[in-house]
Amino acid sequence: MVQVKDVKTNLILDPNAEVVHDATTNLIPSTSDKKVGRYTTFVHIETDKGMSGFSYSSGGRALEVLIHDNLKHILIGEDPLDTEKLWNKMFWQVRGYGRKGLAFLAISALDTALWDLKGKILDAPLYKILGSYQDSVPCYGSGGWTNYTIDELVEEQTSYVEQGFPRVKMKVGKDFGQSEEEDIERLAAVRKAVGKDVTIFIDANNGYYAKQAIKMSKIFEEFNVGWFEEPVLADDIQGLAEVSRSTIIPVATGEHEYTKYGFKDLISQGGADIVQPDIGRVGGVTEWMKVAHLAHSYNLPVAPHAYSLLHLHCCMATPNLKVVEILGNEMKYWPFLFKETPEVIKGQWKPFDKPGLGLEPNQNTIKNHSV
């Protein structure tokens, strides 16, 4: 039997990451070249047989502390193939202080690394272990940040189209929903630039109130919007349901929800037309797949949030998948973080046929940019 021997982490600082804002981001003073440091946490689960499972997270130094002080000891000496057992043990370990939020980022990172390790032990790509459904997945180019000028916004969105993405996403709800006319002007500029055949998704990042979102949705309908993401506060399920009932635009949400229990409430109360679990928050591969199946039982599509490279294998095994998000500012830094990543071709994507996730961290980055 293979046993977990150790859990290690690297906190990586990319000093050249771009400053980006959305509707409800607390403003970060921009430097003249729009650069600011960005942290990524690499997680490695090592075995007594010399194998290692890998994952990553945006949780930063606090995530490292949670992993090493609160969760690592649960995994040591265990069989890494027992993902259900280990997920359950981690879930109960954080019961009193982490049923949502940072503790679940830690569980998510560890669970995903265990699944990567499982693929390596079984010598199979993760999507084959999960049960593949399709040969590739559709994806879209995502960004459209509110601190971009209209010219910068149009340049970014059209660049996705030029790369072969038939779908793009941009931000609305600027300035906590206080810039409605500018939201409309920016959307109009993007629609004009990309043409009528490109799907545009819009994301308010919780920026509007329900009645305001309903009013704005009537205007957004004129631009043939593909979905209206997080139109109101993520915890306002009643408001999400009201918006959903009041517009022909599907409401997409879920990136700030945790576990199957949270998604049960969100879906059963009509708060989501498109379900958006985030593998880095919801509880890793184990819980992400359960949420996808839950959505399927309600005949709802799934469109995961961020963490594109971690979502790819799960999405290959999801019949009710709608589309996969690829953030432009994530894609820029993949060569900095990873040795190699699969190529997107004309808006379609498939993973490497390597064991597990097929991801290898960039060893030069670990050596030169760990903090």
Burial class, 55, CB count within 10 angstroms (exposed 0-12 / middle 13-18 / buried 19+)? buried
Contact status, residue 290 vs residue 84, Cβ threshold 8 Å: no
The predicted model gives 39-66 an average pLDDT of: 96
Question: In Å, what is the CA distance from 207 to each residue of 16, 178, 203, 234, 361?
Answer: 28, 9, 9, 10, 35
Beta carbons within 10 angstroms of residue 221's beta carbon: 13
Q: What percent of the chain has pLDDT over 70?
A: 97
**What does the pLDDT read at residue 32?**
44
Q: Which of 275, 243, 273 is nearest to 260 (CA)?
A: 275
**Residue ranges of the alpha helices (H) in 224-344?**
237-246, 259-268, 284-297, 308-316, 328-337
- Tokens representing 170 are 């941009």
**Residue 27: which pLDDT band, with cuts at 50, 70 and 90?**
low
Q: Which residues contact 347 (CB under 8 A, 6 or more apart)?
A: 138, 139, 140, 164, 165, 166, 167
Place of tokens 């500012």: 329
Lowest mean pLDDT across 8-17, 110-119, 241-250, 288-297: 8-17
Whole-structure pTM value = 0.96
Rounded distance, CA 299 to CA 297, Å? Answer: 5
Q: What are phi and psi for residue 2, nearest 5 degrees? A: -80, 140
Torsion of CA 256, 262, 264, 267, to 10 degrees: -30
**What does the pLDDT read at residue 75?**
98
Per-residue pLDDT of 62-96, as tens digits, reads: 999 999 999 999 999 999 999 999 999 999 999 99
C-alpha atoms less than 13 angstroms from C-alpha of 40 in its C-beta half-sphere = 19
Grouping H, G, I as helix, E, B as strand and the rest as coil, residue 352 is coil
Buried b (16+ CB within 10 A) or exposed e, 346-367: ebbbbbbebbbbbbebbeebee
**What does the pLDDT read at residue 151?**
98
**What does the pLDDT read at residue 28?**
57
Q: Which residues contact 354 (CB under 8 A, 6 or more apart)?
A: 125
**What does the pLDDT read at residue 35?**
56
Beta carbons within 10 angstroms of residue 17's beta carbon: 18
- Tokens representing 231 are 């139109």
Taken in order 244, 250, 255, 261, the sign of the CA dihedral is positive
The predicted model gives 359-363 an average pLDDT of: 97
Question: Which domains occur in the chain, in start order?
Answer: 4-123+363-369 (3.30.390.10), 129-349 (3.20.20.120)
Contact status, residue 278 vs residue 259, Cβ threshold 8 Å: no
Q: What are phi and psi for residue 90, nearest 5 degrees? A: -65, -40
Q: Which of 156, 225, 135 is nearest to 187 (CA)?
A: 225
Per-residue pLDDT of 289-316, as tens digits, reads: 999 999 999 999 999 999 999 999 999 9
The predicted model gives 142-148 an average pLDDT of: 97
The predicted model gives 260-268 an average pLDDT of: 98
